[in-house]
Structures are given as C-alpha cells and as structure tokens.
Amino acid sequence: MVEIKNDAALAAMREAGRVVAQALAAVREAAAVGVSLRELDGVAREVLAKAGATSPFLGYQPAFAPVPFPGVICTSVNDAVVHGVPTDYRLRDGDLLGVDCGALLDGWAGDAAITFSVGTPRPGDTELVAATQRALDAGIAAAVVGNRTGDISHAVESAATAAGCGMPADLGGHGIGRQMHEEPHLPNHGRPGRGLRLRHGLVLAIEPMLMAGGGVDYRTAPDGWTLLTTDGSRAAHIEHTVAITDAGPQILTAL
C-alpha cells in the first residue's frame, strides 16, 4: 500500500531527514586516509544517538542477507555499488567512498547517501560523482504532482545514459515513511507516463547508482551484503528522501 503523508508527517520526516544529513556530514568530515570504515560507522552512531534517533540499517536482514547488517551506515568503496559493510578496512588516498545512512526519529524514517573521493580523486571519479548528482537532480526535478513514477525513473536513466554510465537493472529507490522501505518501488530505469501518479504527500527515496563501466551487471561479495560491479569499474550512489508537494519537490534529507 502506498501511504500519503499529511503535512505534520512531512514535518516530522524532515526532522528525521535532518539527522541523516547531519550524520552524513559528520562522516564526510571524518573520512580521511587511514581512517577505518568501522570508525566512520562510529561517527554516524554518535550523531544518531545524540539526536535520539535509531538506525533502520542496524540489524536489518532482508531475505537475501546471510547475516543482519552490522552497521548504521553502508560504506561502499571503489567498485562497491551499494550495501558495503563498515569493516576494519582503512581508507587509502583516492578511494571513492559511498556512504548511505538512515535514521528513525519519532516514528519516521529518513534515508540518504553521498559519494566522494578520499584524498586525491582518481581520474574519472569526479566526473562519475557529478553524473550521479545530475541523475539525482533530474529525478528530483521530475518528482512533481501530476507526473508518474516512470517520469522520475526515465529522468534518472536518461542522465545516467547521457554520461555513458550503467545502473543495476533491478535496484532503485522506494517509498519511505514509518518504514525505511515502503511501496512503491522506484526503478532507476523506466518509461515516461508509466507507473504511479505522483500526489502531494507521497515521499520517495530517489537513489541513482551509476557504474562507470556502463553495464547493468553486479555481483554479491562473499560477505553476502556488498554489491560490486562485475567489470571492476567504479560506482557512485547519491540519494535523497524527497516529498512530492503542491509547492514542488522538497528534499527532506537536508541540513
């Protein structure tokens, strides 16, 4: 069932989203050569705890997962697309780091992700991140009342294709509210004019995941969580929780 939020719920979701944005900003600030992914997870945990929020990631175990997720952030390095586990791996100069974070505050969820280079960016990484941001921006611009979910999907896909990048065929965004993952599924590929009609109060997590190699294939790492590009090319993931409103799309995961 697709749940439409009233304005009080949207305001509450903005507060949950703000905590996510704060956690991501703190992780970005702390990320440096020699810092471990587990230490970054600790930084995010502190922000969530201080805000009185809990994590929808920690202990999450969907059907595909062999073990509950052990962190409050996903940390996806270089050829990892999404769902990277925060391990003791220490960041190196030029690593491309994707950080995905969720928060639950007063019964409402927020979900967002950033990708950035640690130290000196490798050739192509800055362009990959910029293309991913353009895909997200295009998706958000299409998230207007009267459009359909397919218009968002198509906008995201067109921006990725224009950049020569691929995206995993079956991964995408999602509705969000009291749960991190709600209906509808929001594919990153789609046709304009198809799918659910967008109304005031619908909240979606929009999250392009671009793979520089241009393919759609990915594989699961032995940890059962981390998704990697099959061609070893680098990937970037950027996400916002966005409310569709009569006043236009509103980013709820902003500072």
Least distance in angstroms from the C-beta of 211 to Mg ion: 17
Q: Distance between CA atoms of 255 and 22, rounded to whole angstroms?
A: 6
Stretch that binds Mg ion, among 56-64, 83-91, 108-116, 191-199 (CB under 5 A): 108-116
Interface pattern 113-132 for Mg ion (x via CB under 5 A):
x-------------------
Angle among Cα 167, 168, 173 to the nearest 5 degrees reads: 90
13 forms part of the interface with Mg ion (CB under 5 A): no
Can residue 111 be called a binding residue for Mg ion (CB under 5 A)? Answer: yes
3-state DSSP assignment of residue 129 = helix
Q: Which residue in the block uniquely carries the two structure tokens 């999907």?
A: 153
In the complex with Mg ion, which residue's Cβ is closer, 92 or 210?
210
**Min. distance of Cβ 93 from Mg ion in angstroms?**
26
Q: Total residues at the site for Mg ion (CB under 5 A)? A: 5
Question: Do the Cβ atoms of 192 and 153 come closer than 8 Å?
Answer: no
Q: What 3-state DSSP class applies to 142?
A: coil
C-beta closer to Mg ion: residue 111 or 157:
111
For Mg ion, the closer of residues 79 and 100 by Cβ is 100
Near Mg ion by CB under 5 A, which window of 26-34, 52-60, 235-243, 245-253?
Answer: 235-243
Which C-beta is closer to Mg ion: that of 115 or that of 158? 115
State which of residues 100, 151, 157, 182 lies at the interface with Mg ion (CB under 5 A).
Answer: 100
Q: Among 35-43, 109-117, 130-138, 189-197, which window interacts with Mg ion (CB under 5 A)?
A: 109-117
> DSSP E strands: which ranges in the chain?
73-77, 80-82, 96-105, 108-117, 172-175, 182-187, 203-206, 209-211, 218-220, 227-229, 235-237, 240-243, 250-251
Q: How far apart are CA 199 and CA 72, in angstroms?
A: 31
Q: Other C-beta atoms within 10 Å of 193: how many?
A: 10
Residue 206's closest CA among 173, 245, 160?
Answer: 173
Query: CB 120 → Mg ion: shortest distance, Å?
Result: 27
Rounded to whole angstroms, the Cα distance separating 245 from 30 reads 34
Among 91, 99, 109, 205, binds Mg ion (CB under 5 A): 205
Question: Between 112 and 196, whose beta carbon lies closer to Mg ion?
Answer: 112
Q: Does 182 bind Mg ion (CB under 5 A)?
A: no
- The residues binding Mg ion (CB under 5 A) are 100, 111, 113, 205, 239
